[in-house]
Amino acid sequence: MPLECLDRETLVYPDNFINKVICGDSLELMKLIPAEAVELIFTDPPYAISNEVIITRGRNKMKFKGKDISQDFGDWDKFNSLEEFMDWTFKWLDEAVRTLRGGGMLCSYFDRDKVNFISRYLQDKYGFKCKGYYADLKSNPVPQARKVKWMNGWEIIGMWQKPGGKLTYNYQLGQAKDWGVRAIVGHTTKEDGERIHPTQKPISVAKKFISYWSNKDDIVLDPFMGTGFVLVGCKELNRRFIGIEKDTRYCQKAERRLMNTIGSLF
């Protein structure tokens, strides 16, 4: 599959979708996935938290080590207003809900300040049941240079079940906590001498979700895959996947990571 961004006329389900890195706009491309085709959605969408602030290190009294840290993650995270952002978010949620089988789980990173908007939307419009929130704790959060608040040391992942089918929850894997601790990926993981993705998430978190909320061979959808943390987790755990990303640079990195991952399904 070539990695140019493809328009929807060029793609056919399932041949161009299953176990593929798909480069393009997920709001358009998800429309080509049949209803109720996927067992689990796990994703990390834009949640409009970018700003112009650069946290400088090594030049102020706090003397942080390392490079400056930008809070500008890219144009993909910028919207003109909260209304515009939520409208866009509800559009992708509508398509995601359509592709998810009854009883399946939709799990998503989101801004802690806005996550209740999507929880209410899924429950009120579609009858989803909220299965709780996972706290993804960072052992090395970005320091607060301005000394006006605590460091932002955790991310939230909402978990919602679609009505109309049986839940997959692999309790036999053992009791699991709704939180976990990990290091920020971008600070420690480099590829070709550069940081992989400004908001890259760890494969270990993806694997925890995939292993509990899906079974071997199931299809897992990540419509905002970035550099493919969910896809790599799926390959390692023998799940099939559909991964969509609009930036070709991230698609290429996801492809490289998948090539270096061992899995038995493909």
Contact positions vs ligand SAM (CB under 6 A): 25-27, 44-46, 76, 197, 199-201, 224, 226-227, 229, 244-247, 250
Question: Among residues 13 and 163, whose Cβ is nearest to ligand SAM?
Answer: 13
Please check whether residue 236 is in contact with residue 207, taking contact to mean a CB–CB distance below 8 angstroms.
yes
Minimum distance, C-beta of residue 256 to ligand SAM, in the bound complex (Å): 12
Of 101 and 257, the one with the shorter C-beta distance to ligand SAM is 257
**Rg value, the chain, Cα:** 18
* Total residue length of the chain: 266
The nearer residue to ligand SAM, 36 or 247, going by C-beta atoms, is: 247
User: Are 3 and 248 spatial neighbours (Cβ–Cβ below 8 Å)?
Assistant: yes
Smallest gap from Cβ 49 to ligand SAM, in A, equals 9
**C-beta nearest to ligand SAM: residue:** 226
C-alpha 99/C-alpha 93 separation (Å) is: 10
CB 253 within 8 A of CB 228: yes
Q: Which is nearer to ligand SAM, 169 or 247 (CB)?
A: 247
Q: Residue holding tokens 């993909």?
A: 76
Q: Cβ closer to ligand SAM: 92 or 212?
A: 92
Assign residue 170 a region: left if phi > 0, alpha if psi is -120 to 50, beta otherwise?
A: beta
Residue 35 CB, nearest approach to ligand SAM (Å): 20
User: End-to-end alpha-carbon separation of the chain, Å?
Assistant: 15
Is residue 89 classed exposed, middle or buried when 0-12, 13-18 and 19+ CB atoms within 10 A define those classes? buried
